[in-house]
Amino acid sequence: MAIDEVTISRAIIERFLRKFSVSLVVDVAVVGGGPAGLVAAYYLARDGYKVSLFERKLSIGGGMWGGGMMFNEIVVQEEGKRILDEFGIRSELYEDGYYTADAVESISTICSKTAQVGAKIFNLMSVEDVVVRQDRVVGLVLNWTAVEMAGLHVDPLTIRSKYVIDATGHDTEVVKVIEHKVDADLLTPTGRIMGEKSLWAEVAEHMTLENTKEVFPGVFVAGMSANATFGAYRMGPIFGGMLLSGEKAATMIAQRLEKEL
Ligand code: 48F
């Protein structure tokens, strides 16, 4: 059969628009496609919620691809291994309580399973603003990363979402927008972003879970963004906290959504 280039173009355009159109109104919008955001999107989509994930970069996966200092292996502890097992990612005992896994196998599997359970993943899109109504975030403002990079004067588009997860990592970008633009305190002890502290793996790992919570009505923080928002330590290439934080954000939001039914 002959191949028609225009059919290829039309197929891509129509299918993309279909995917984007159904993502204009969602239960949960996840900002950032690192391990924390992907795991949150996975559990929510698997449980039947309508989820979109927006990632600024071409590749999904955030900081997991490079392991530690480009040695592409990750470390998790017992609790984190449970999540690797759930995704079917192979890991190997290194010594008591420490497991390693191939960084590429880990993040590509998480990404693939998240897409397969129905989360709509959009790469090359950046979240630049939020929509606030009655002191609650009810949507996100999106633009192409290429527009952002080129500094072009192009207006964005908007989506509506019952809940937002800021999983933007160290930069905690959604919360930053709220802090700068919304005339209300954040749900942190100071009402402001408290800022990330230097590296302390042991404390940071469990603080990540503690800090995974609602930071503004309608907005949860997960992963490094949670620690940056609540003034906790970074942890380097141990990834269990990121995975468990994604799971916790999903569980907390699912409980809220259930109540609202
Ligand atoms: O940085 P990232 O991997 O965050 P994470 O899921 O995991 C942190 C670890 O990678 C590592 C660590 C391990 O213990 O400390 O750093 O918390 O992924 C965040 C993603 O968010 C994207 C960014 O490109 C990255 O892929 N991102 C950031 N800001 C935006 C965004 C934005 N405004 N819009 C869309 N994507």
pLDDT in tens, 118-139: 999 999 999 999 999 999 999 9
d(CA 219, CA 122): 19
Protein residue whose Cα sits closest to atom 34 of ligand 1 = 126
User: How much of the chain, in percent, has pLDDT values that exceed 70?
Assistant: 100
| Mean pLDDT, rounded, for 199-206 | 94
Ligand 1 atom nearest 222 alpha carbon: 17
- Token pair of 91 as six digits: 């890991």
Q: What Å distances lie between residue 159 and 26, 47, 202, 206, CA to CA?
A: 8, 22, 38, 33
Number of Cβ atoms within 10 Å of the Cβ of 21: 9
User: How much of the chain, in percent, has pLDDT values that exceed 90?
Assistant: 98
Ligand 1 atom nearest 64 alpha carbon: 10
Q: Which residues contact 225 (CB under 8 A, 6 or more apart)?
A: 32, 36, 166, 167, 168, 169, 170, 171, 172, 173, 174, 175
Domain boundaries, the chain: 31-260
Residues in the ligand 1 pocket, defined by CB under 6 Å = 31-37, 54-57, 62-64, 126-127, 167-169, 171, 173, 223-225, 234-235, 238-239, 242
Protein residue whose Cα sits closest to atom 33 of ligand 1 = 127
Protein residue whose Cα sits closest to atom 16 of ligand 1 = 63
Q: What is the pTM of this model?
A: 0.98
Residue for token pair 């975030």 = 137
Ligand 1 atom nearest 37 alpha carbon: 6
Mutate to test the pocket of ligand 1, among 83, 165, 168, 181 (most ligand atoms within 8 A of CB): 168
User: What is the architecture, at CATH level 2, of domain 31-260?
Assistant: 3-Layer(bba) Sandwich (3.50)
Give the pLDDT confidence of 35-86 residue by residue, as tens digits.
999 999 999 999 999 999 999 999 999 999 999 999 999 999 999 999 999 9
d(CA 158, CA 25): 10
Q: What is the pLDDT of residue 260?
A: 87
Q: Do strands 157-166 and 219-221 pair parallel, antiparallel, or not at all (unpaired)?
A: parallel
Reported as a pLDDT band with limits 50, 70 and 90, residue 261 is confident
Kindly report the average pLDDT of the chain as a whole number: 97
- Given a cut of 80, whether residue 224 has pLDDT beyond it is yes
Mutate to test the pocket of ligand 1, among 178, 224, 248 (most ligand atoms within 8 A of CB): 224
Give the pLDDT confidence of 243-256 residue by residue, as tens digits.
999 999 999 999 99
In the three-class reduction of DSSP (H, G, I as helix; E, B as strand; rest coil), residue 254 is classed as helix
Ligand 1 atom nearest 204 alpha carbon: 14
